[in-house]
Chain A
Amino acid sequence: MIPPSFDYVAPKTLSEAVAALGQHENAKILAGGQSLIPLMRFRLASPEVLIDLNRVEGLSYIDEKGGWLKIGSMTRESDIEHSELVSERYSLLADTAKVISDPIVRNMGTVGGNLANGDPGNDHPATMLAYGAEVVAVGPNGERVIPITSFFRGLYESDLAPNEILTEVRIPASKPRSGGAYLKLERKVGDFATAAVAAQVELDEQENFTSVGIGLTNVGLTAIKATEAEDFLKGKAASDENIRQAARLAAEAAQPIADVRGSEDYKRSLVKTYTTRALRMAVQRAKGG
Chain B
Amino acid sequence: MSKHHINVTINGKAHEADVESRLLLVHFLRENLNMTGTHIGCDTTSCGACTVQLKGKPVKSCTVLAVQADGMEVKTVEGLAANGKLHPIQEGFHEKHGLQCGFCTPGMMMTTSAFLEQNSHPTEDEIRHAISGNLCRCTGYMNIVKAVQYAADKMAEKVEA
Interface residues of A (CB under 8 A from B): 1-8, 10, 30, 33-34, 37-38, 40-41, 50, 52, 54, 78, 101-105, 107-108, 189-190
Contacts and interface: CB of A to CB of B under 8 A. Distances in A.
B63 A37 contact: yes
Interface stretch (B7-15, B44-52, B151-159): B44-52
B134 A104 contact: yes
B21 A105 contact: no
Contacts of B51: 104
B54 to A, nearest CB: 8
Contact of B1 (A5, A34, A101, A105): A5
A34 B63 contact: yes
B1 A189 contact: no
A185 to B, nearest CB: 16
B44 A38 contact: yes
B43 interface: yes
A102 B48 contact: yes
Interface string B31-64: 0000000000001111010010000011110011
A101 B134 CA distance: 12
A108 B22 contact: no
A52 B22 contact: no
30 contacts: A3-B22, A5-B20, A6-B21, A7-B1, A7-B2, A30-B65, A33-B64, A33-B68, A34-B63, A38-B44, A41-B43, A50-B21, A54-B68, A101-B133, A102-B48, A102-B132, A102-B133, A103-B111, A103-B130, A104-B51, A104-B60, A104-B134, A105-B45, A105-B63, A107-B59, A108-B59, A108-B60, A108-B63, A190-B132, A190-B133
Contacts of B63: 33-34, 37-38, 105, 108
B129 A103 contact: yes
Nearest to A33: B63
A8 B68 CA distance: 10
B16 to A, nearest CB: 17
Contacts of B45: 34, 37-38, 105
Interface of B: 1-2, 4, 20-24, 27, 43-46, 48, 51, 57-60, 63-65, 67-68, 70, 111, 129-130, 132-134
A interface SS class: loop
Contacts of A107: 57-59
Given A103-B111, A105-B63, A105-B133, 9 more contacts: A2-B24, A5-B20, A6-B21, A34-B63, A38-B45, A41-B43, A103-B129, A104-B48, A104-B58
Given A7-B1, A104-B58, A189 B21 contact: no
Nearest to B19: A8
A5 B21 contact: yes
B35 to A, nearest CB: 18
Nearest to A106: B133
Report which residue of A8, A10, A30, A78 has the largest number of chain B beta carbons within 10 angstroms of its beta carbon. A8
Contacts of A30: 65, 68
A103 B21 contact: no
Nearest to B20: A5
Contacts of A3: 22
A7 B1 CA distance: 6
A8 B43 contact: no
A37 B2 CA distance: 17
B60 to A, nearest CB: 6
B78 to A, nearest CB: 19
A10 B69 CA distance: 12
Contacts of B111: 103-104
Contacts of B68: 30, 33, 52, 54
Contacts of B22: 2-6, 40
A54 B64 CA distance: 11
A155 to B, nearest CB: 20
Given A5-B1, A37-B65, A107-B59, A189 B132 contact: yes
